[in-house]
Amino acid sequence: MIELRLLDGFEVWRDGDVVALPQSARRLAAFLALHERPLHRIYVSGSLWLESTEENANASLRSTLWRLGRQDCPLIDSSGSLVRLAPEVAVDLHDARERARAVLRGEGATPLGLDLLCRAGELLPHWYDDWVVIERERFRQLRLHALDALCESLAAAGRYAAAVEAGRASVAGEPLRESAHRLLIQAYLAEGDRGEATRQYRAFRDLLQDELGLAPSPQLEELVAPLPVW
């Protein structure tokens, strides 16, 4: 089994062992994984070797594919003018994306799905290519909205511990998002935990003031009006 891990850093695993790849091969595998479809060679080479001539970029792609072919790890499929990630390669990002989209479709989440979304890290941290930065932000927003939806739906179902776990993960993902704090406070209140609701509000209020010089919205103030927040 081959696994490509893009969350919290780049790793390729085969049958429980890490596979070492040169940087050019790592970038190619990541690029193909993010696109999730076969791509024309000329598009791939032009995207990954921007500063090279077309001839040199194509040569770099051929060299990278040749090097990958010498490894006992069938990571890339190359057929004619098209290249793609091999279908049997499992990608953690793909799994996390699908679980988040399922939540947003209203399908809820299994305990395993909840754990995956709560633990999912940043996509390829410290990679600064434009094609990574765009997908990193897209995944970040998708994950945060899915965690918000889980916090709300789990609290409504009386699964307060799971709701709080989802809410805290969303808050940690972007501490200045008021919507995440509001849903977490609502989960605490639904559970009857006024103390944690009060602490959460105070922490957010102080952070918002320190970082942006702003106050919480009237909607949040109304939510915590019965609490001793001052």
User: Which pLDDT score is estimated for 42?
Assistant: 96
* Alpha-carbon span 53 to 42, nearest angstrom: 11
Strand, coil or helix: 7 = strand
Asked whether the domain spanning 91-223 has the same topology as the one spanning 2-88, the reply is no
pLDDT in tens, the chain (230 residues): 899 999 999 999 999 899 999 999 999 999 999 999 999 999 999 999 999 999 999 999 999 999 988 887 789 999 889 999 999 999 999 999 999 999 999 987 788 889 999 999 999 999 999 999 999 999 999 999 999 999 999 999 999 999 999 999 999 999 999 999 999 999 999 999 999 999 999 999 999 999 999 999 999 999 999 998 67
**CATH 1.10.10.10 for domain 2-88:** yes
Phi, psi of 228 (to 5 degrees): -80, 65
- Domain boundary assignment for the chain: 2-88, 91-223
Using CB atoms within 10 Å of the CB of residue 215, give its burial: 0 to 12 exposed, 13 to 18 middle, 19+ buried: exposed
**CATH 1.25.40.10 for domain 91-223:** yes
Nearest to 117 by CA among 155, 184, 165: 165
User: Which pLDDT score is estimated for 217?
Assistant: 97
User: Which pLDDT score is estimated for 53?
Assistant: 95
Nearest to 226 by CA among 194, 200, 196: 194
CA end-to-end span of the chain, whole Å? 56
